Amino acid sequence: MEKRRLNKYLSEIGVCSRRKADQLIETGRIRVNGEIPVLGLKVNENDEISVDGKLVQKVEKKAVYILYNKPVGITCTTDLRVKGNIIEAVNYPTRIFPIGRLDKPSEGLILLTDDGDIVNKILRARNHHEKEYLVTVNKSITKKFLKRMREGVPILDTVTRPCVVEKLGDMKFKIILTQGLNRQIRRMCQYLSYNVQTLKRVRIMNIKLDIPSGDWRALRPRELRK
């Protein structure tokens, strides 16, 4: 029987993402056959794995993939102690978690799933997956602002990738990113002396936002295939 790295195995059976699995291993919260595992340990279905003393079992089920139109004020965390957390807002009957995040003042499209393995595939920066946003700022947009945003802005000890930026109104623009730095658009605007007033994500790859704020729906078969 094929063995896989423990973090990959846990993500495949929907327990958590690989990154979270590594954190659980490092903090000693996982046992494999009663022993504390090391990072990189390989396991298979015959191994007895527990998290916080609870036995983990592979359940043969169809993975869940959800599109949620996150309202402003909802926090993208699975920590139920946080008021306004995304898990309670969606209120899905089984355990799911968000793929990536939108900060609390932002709104729009975010995906949730119980498939831990797909998280890395979608978020991996080298895959250059497109994410499209509609943004309003606090003052008139100039040609210089558009040029600088398109070419790249120095934030977080790097320079942002060249991106598509299109002016939609005096203080509104569309931006398509292929990376996901922390609060990237807000930081880019702030560097150029603009403040973001509203920020809405309307597309991730081929998946477009098409439901009212606060609603969710399952991804369609054609969306999943692509």
How far apart CA 105 and CA 197 sit, in angstroms, is: 9
How far does CA 79 lie from the centroid of its chain? 15
| Interaxial angle between packed helices 18-26 and 116-123, expressed in degrees from 0 to 180 and rounded to the nearest 10 | 110
| Cα→Cα distances 122→6, 35, 178, 207, Å | 20, 33, 11, 12
Q: Distance (Å, rounded) from C-alpha 118 to C-alpha 122?
A: 6
Q: How far apart are CA 46 and CA 13, in angstroms?
A: 14
Which alpha helices (H) appear in 79-181, and where do they start and end? 86-90, 116-123, 143-151
Q: Is 103 a catalytic residue?
A: yes
Segments of 33-114 assigned E as strands: 42-43, 49-51, 54-56, 65-70, 97-99, 107-113
**Euclidean distance between CA atoms 80 and 88, whole angstroms:** 7
Marked catalytic residue, from 103, 157, 210, 215 = 103
Spatial CA neighbour of 125 closest among 160, 94, 157: 160
Q: What are the structure tokens assigned to 90, written together? A: 């969606």
Active site residues: 103
